Structures are given as C-alpha cells and as structure tokens.
Amino acid sequence: MTTSLHVEQAGGGLPLVLLHAFPLSSAMWAEQRERLASRCHVLTPDQRGFGASPLGPDAPDLAACADDVVALLDRLGLDRVVLGGLSMGGYVAMALLRRHPERVRALVLADTKAGLDPEAARANRLRVAQDVERHGNGGLVEQMLPVLLGSTTTTERPGVVERVRAMVEQAPPSAVAWAQRAMAGRSDAFDVLAGADVPALVLVGDEDVLSTVDDARAMTEVLPQGQLAVLDRAGHLSALEVPDAFADAVGTFLDGL
Ligand code: MLT
C-alpha cells in the first residue's frame, strides 16, 4: 500500500525530486527550493511518517518509500524526473531506481552510500528503534547531532545546529523506529547503480563521517555516467551546511542535461 505524501514545491520546468535525510523532513530542503526554483521544478516530499506525511500501516521497507514517491509522481502527472536524495533519501532513490528505473531521467546522490551496514551498525539501528518506541526520541538528538553535522558547522554555524536540533526533536518516534528498521533491511545497491546508464551526480561533504568521500567515490566509479563533487567544509547534511555550494553543483549538473 502506498502513503499519500505531502510535498513542498517551487519553480517550474524540469522536475527535480529531492528526498530528505533521516530523521528530518522536507524542511531540510528550504534553501535548495529557494536557490533552484529559477532553474527547475523542485519537489521535496515528506517521506512517510515525517513532516506532514502519514506513516501508513506497512511493515518497514524502503521499497514502500520508493513506491510512495512513484505514486506522488503519478498523482502530479510527472513521468521521468531527476531523482535526488540525501543519505536516507539516497537509499530511497536507489530503491526507486531498482523498482522503477523508467521514471529516472538523471540522479543526484548526496551524502549517501550504496553498500550495506556492517552488522554492528545494523544491530544498533534495531536497538535505536526499540529505544525510541519505549522512551521517545529524546536521546536521539545528542546521539545524532555530532555525526549529522560537520566539524566546521558544529563550531562556526550555530544557526544551522539549532535548526537541525529542532528538526530532529520534531521527528515522531514511530517514524524514527520504522525508518531505522527499513534502513536496517535495505539491499546493497551497487548492482542497481552499475545498471543506471543516466547522468549521475554524486555529492559529499568533505567532513561527512556517516557517508564518507570514499563511499561517494565507490558509487561514482560504478555509475556508468557518474561524476563526483566534494563540498568543502561540509558534513553529512551538506545541503543545509553549505547551501550555495550544493545548489551550484546541482544547478551546473542540471544545465548539462
Ligand atoms: C540519514 O542522514 O539519512 C541517516 O544518517 C542515514 C543512516 O542512518 O544511514
């Protein structure tokens, strides 16, 4: 079953879908909507359970998130789109590419990775899921903020730190648990990337400790038309930490399509 996603949109023309990170919402793309609206039609859905989208009754599986996005495209009458995602958004983009490759005109994969979690990280996701269900997501902020943001942002951009803190605090525990279980069960996506013969931009912050420059390089190498952009002084949430550099890289990529 698909969930009807709430979507924030800006601009017009070539459709660019941007899927948000865990445990955030479409609010993380505010700067990108503003900066990219003059060049394309930016669509930023709230993924199931986050922001204004309902969680739905399905068992945790990123395939369901991918199908939600396709149902949204159908609802809006959009056939092929430039599909982008940051971190968890990238995992969902790769799940969509596996299930519905005909809907993808080009790819933007930011601060994400195609490989599986090591067993300890997978076990930790399941532990976090159980923990937020029992105790709420109070502990999540302190656990996640230091790894979501790069060291430059942590020390020099207090406004960004506070904004991300507020977003993490607002994440519903039920959605956090669902998404952690779904991410724990995801498939290795290198085979999907190897078969994706479409223009593909891989972006990564040079201070990202969750999805590293090496992870980005590995994806770029298997993508038949992959190109890599490393963003300086940015961590895992590069789109928020260095919004101008992120929008410039995406804009230049779109100009080349
Ligand atoms: C995210 O930013 O979406 C998460 O850090 C992804 C993950 O936990 O692997």
Measured from the Cα of 180, ligand 1's closest atom is 8
Measured from the Cα of 211, ligand 1's closest atom is 9
Show the tokens assigned to 159: 């406004």
Measured from the Cα of 117, ligand 1's closest atom is 9
Show the tokens assigned to 76: 């809006």
Whether the CB of 22 sits within 6 Å of ligand 1: yes
Q: For residue range 157-167, list pLDDT tens digits in order.
A: 999 999 999 99
pTM exceeds 0.75 for this model: yes
Give the C-alpha separation, 133 to 110, whole Å: 29
pLDDT value, residue 138: 84
Residue 12's contacts (CB-CB under 8 Å, 6 or more residues apart) are: 40, 41
pLDDT above 90: percentage of residues in the chain? 97
Between the CA of 156 and the centroid of ligand 1 the distance, in Å, is 23
Three-state SS string over 236-249 comes to CCHHHHCHHHHHHH
- The answer on pLDDT for 125 being more than 90 is yes
Between the CA of 21 and the centroid of ligand 1 the distance, in Å, is 6
137 three-class SS: coil
Between the CA of 102 and the centroid of ligand 1 the distance, in Å, is 26
Ligand 1 mutation target, pool 24, 65, 87, 147, most atoms within 8 A of CB: 87
Q: For residue range 192-223, list pLDDT tens digits in order.
A: 999 999 999 999 999 999 999 999 999 999 99
In CATH, the number for domain 7-115+186-255 is 3.40.50.1820
Whether the CB of 184 sits within 6 Å of ligand 1: no
Ligand 1 mutation target, pool 20, 111, 208, 210, most atoms within 8 A of CB: 210
Between the CA of 87 and the centroid of ligand 1 the distance, in Å, is 5
Give the C-alpha separation, 33 to 159, whole Å: 19
Question: What residues does each domain of the chain span?
Answer: 7-115+186-255
What length is written for the chain?
Answer: 257
